């Protein structure tokens, strides 16, 4: 008889490419995961993985079986969530991925308060500017800026009107002056963001005709962590072009000053993404409502 726990370890081992990583995630020993995969292979009469001392990859049979295993586990999950939906108390585990700056400075206290209201729920927050894959990574939902190109995901709005803003610290402006136009940006130290080896050194700005104008910028400081870029700006190191949500507190407290306020920034809606079949999870639905209320309470972006 196939054990559901073995199916879960098979799916996680396939996603992580390692028995050891799957074992750490499940708080097991690697040998226990290997034994579980062995049991599953004997029940099915096939080899699911091709193993070597340096790699672990699915066989053709394993690739073919993987979507069925996911389907079984998802059906079990849906049944559990349906039962939980009939109870006023949320239970289980909800795993959330979020961008670094937003996750640490806005979501962190909000999620803690949400969990306090639902003590039966375990929340796991994964903070990174690397975009999480809700199908392969150990997350249930992903909070992201922008729009997804994946039609299989449901996008639930959190801050649909959010935009990027240009800003700099008073100390920087005292030294270098403020740009008077977008053309002036080329003569300033701009703080640049990197992702997957790409440097975002072309900033886009909406124009009156509905198009976007791209402005090439440069600067001596670059990082793949959006919070680091914001902190450099607060420290007076240069000009930043960043989400209003990330800079709202700094702008209100005078640590940053908005630049070229007459120039609209690029739209950057914040959304909660989840797979279709988890759309109506009670925990996801309630968390979305909770966060949407808090983002709305921040007020309108200037």
Q: Compute the average pLDDT of residues 207-230.
A: 94
Q: Rounded to 5 degrees, what angle do the CA atoms 85, 89, 94 make?
A: 75
Number of domains in the chain: 3
Split at pLDDT 50, 70, 90, the class of 136 is low
Q: 263 lies in a domain? A: no
How many C-beta atoms lie closer than 10 Å to residue 297's C-beta?
7
- Strand locations in 118-207 (E): 121-127, 141-145, 153-159, 164-168, 192-195, 198-200, 202-206
Q: Of the ranges 28-32, 106-110, 170-174, which one carries the lowest mean pLDDT score?
A: 28-32
Q: 217 lies in a domain? A: yes
Query: In this structure, what CATH number is given to the domain that contains residue 173?
Result: 3.40.190.10
Distances (CA, A) of 75 to 44, 81, 82, 102: 20, 10, 10, 32
Query: In terms of domains, do 139 and 276 share one?
Result: yes
Query: In terms of domains, do 150 and 171 share one?
Result: no
Give DSSP secondary structure letters for 11-45: HHHHHHT-HHHHHHHHT--HHHHHHHHHHHHHHHT
Query: In terms of domains, do 212 and 151 share one?
Result: no
Residue 132 is classified by DSSP as P
Domain ends where: 52, 84, 116?
A: 84
Q: Of the ranges 64-78, 129-143, 190-204, which one carries the lowest mean pLDDT score?
A: 129-143
Q: Compute the average pLDDT of residues 54-69.
A: 89
Note the pLDDT of residue 170: 98
- Which is higher by pLDDT, 8 or 253? 253
Note the pLDDT of residue 103: 94
Split at pLDDT 50, 70, 90, the class of 280 is low
Instruction: Answer for the pair 238, 232: CB distance below 8 angstroms, yes or no.
Output: yes
Supply the range of the domain harboring residue 230. Answer: 164-258
Query: In terms of domains, do 288 and 155 share one?
Result: yes
Q: Compute the average pLDDT of residues 74-78.
A: 77
Note the pLDDT of residue 134: 66
- The percent of residues in the chain predicted with pLDDT above 70, rounded, is 93
Could you give the CA distance from residue 74 to residue 118 in angstroms, rounded to a whole number? Answer: 23
Q: 158 lies in a domain? A: yes
How many C-beta atoms lie closer than 10 Å to residue 127's C-beta?
17
Note the pLDDT of residue 99: 94
Could you give the CA distance from residue 30 to residue 222 in angstroms, rounded to a whole number? Answer: 39
Distances (CA, A) of 26 to 2, 12, 93, 272: 19, 9, 13, 26
Note the pLDDT of residue 278: 47
Query: In terms of domains, do 141 and 274 share one?
Result: yes
Distances (CA, A) of 134 to 52, 100, 251, 282: 28, 17, 33, 18
Note the pLDDT of residue 299: 84
Query: In terms of domains, do 179 and 244 share one?
Result: yes
Query: In terms of domains, do 149 and 276 share one?
Result: yes
- Which is higher by pLDDT, 55 or 284? 284
Q: 43 lies in a domain? A: yes
Q: Compute the average pLDDT of residues 56-73.
A: 90
- Has residue 281 got a pLDDT over 80? no
Q: 264 lies in a domain? A: no
Q: 108 lies in a domain? A: yes
Query: In terms of domains, do 10 and 50 share one?
Result: yes
Distances (CA, A) of 158 to 142, 239, 256: 12, 27, 24
- Has residue 256 got a pLDDT over 80? yes
Query: In terms of domains, do 28 and 61 share one?
Result: yes
Query: In terms of domains, do 9 and 47 share one?
Result: yes
Domain ends where: 28, 53, 84?
A: 84
- Has residue 20 got a pLDDT over 80? yes
Could you give the CA distance from residue 124 to residue 246 in angstroms, rounded to a whole number? Answer: 21
Q: 176 lies in a domain? A: yes
Note the pLDDT of residue 52: 79
| pTM for the model | 0.71
- Has residue 296 got a pLDDT over 70? yes
Split at pLDDT 50, 70, 90, the class of 89 is confident
Instruction: Answer for the pair 40, 10: CB distance below 8 angstroms, yes or no.
Output: yes
Could you give the CA distance from residue 108 to residue 125 in angstroms, rounded to a whole number? Answer: 8
Could you give the CA distance from residue 164 to residue 263 in angstroms, rounded to a whole number? Answer: 11
Query: In terms of domains, do 62 and 185 share one?
Result: no
Query: In terms of domains, do 121 and 203 share one?
Result: no
Collapsed DSSP state (helix, strand, coil) of residue 274: strand
Note the pLDDT of residue 85: 55
Domain ends where: 17, 51, 84?
A: 84
Query: In this structure, what CATH number is given to the domain that contains residue 47?
Result: 1.10.10.10
């Amino acid at each position: 008889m196939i054990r559901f726990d073995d199916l879960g370890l098979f799916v996680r081992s396939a996603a992580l490419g390692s028995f050891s990583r799957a074992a750490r995630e499940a708080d097991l020993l690697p040998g226990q995961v290997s034994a579980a995969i062995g049991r599953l292979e004997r029940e099915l009469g096939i080899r699911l993985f091709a193993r070597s001392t340096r790699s672990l990859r699915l066989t053709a049979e394993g690739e073919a079986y993987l979507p069925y295993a996911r389907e079984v586990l998802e059906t079990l999950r849906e049944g559990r969530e349906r039962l939980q939906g009939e109870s006023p108390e949320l239970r289980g585990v909800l795993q959330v991925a979020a961008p670094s700056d937003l996750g640490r400075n806005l979501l962190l206290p909000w999620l803690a308060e949400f969990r306090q209201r639902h003590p039966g729920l375990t929340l796991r927050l994964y903070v990174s500017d690397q975009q999480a894959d809700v199908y392969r990574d150990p997350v249930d939902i992903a909070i992201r800026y922008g729009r997804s190109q994946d039609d299989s995901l449901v996008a639930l709005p959190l801050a649909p009107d959010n935009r990027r803003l240009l800003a700099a610290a008073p100390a920087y402006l005292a030294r270098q002056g403020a740009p008077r136009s977008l053309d002036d940006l080329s003569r300033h130290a701009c703080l640049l963001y990197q992702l997957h080896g790409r440097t975002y050194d072309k900033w886009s700005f909406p124009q009156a005709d509905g198009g976007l104008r791209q402005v090439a910028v440069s600067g001596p400081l670059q990082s793949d962590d959006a919070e680091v870029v914001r902190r450099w700006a607060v420290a007076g190191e240069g000009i930043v072009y960043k989400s209003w949500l990330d800079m709202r507190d700094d702008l209100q407290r005078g640590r940053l000053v908005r630049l070229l306020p007459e120039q609209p920034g690029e739209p950057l809606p914040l959304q909660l993404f989840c797979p279709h079949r988890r759309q109506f999870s009670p925990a996801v639905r309630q968390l979305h409502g909770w966060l949407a209320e808090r983002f709305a309470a921040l007020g309108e972006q200037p």
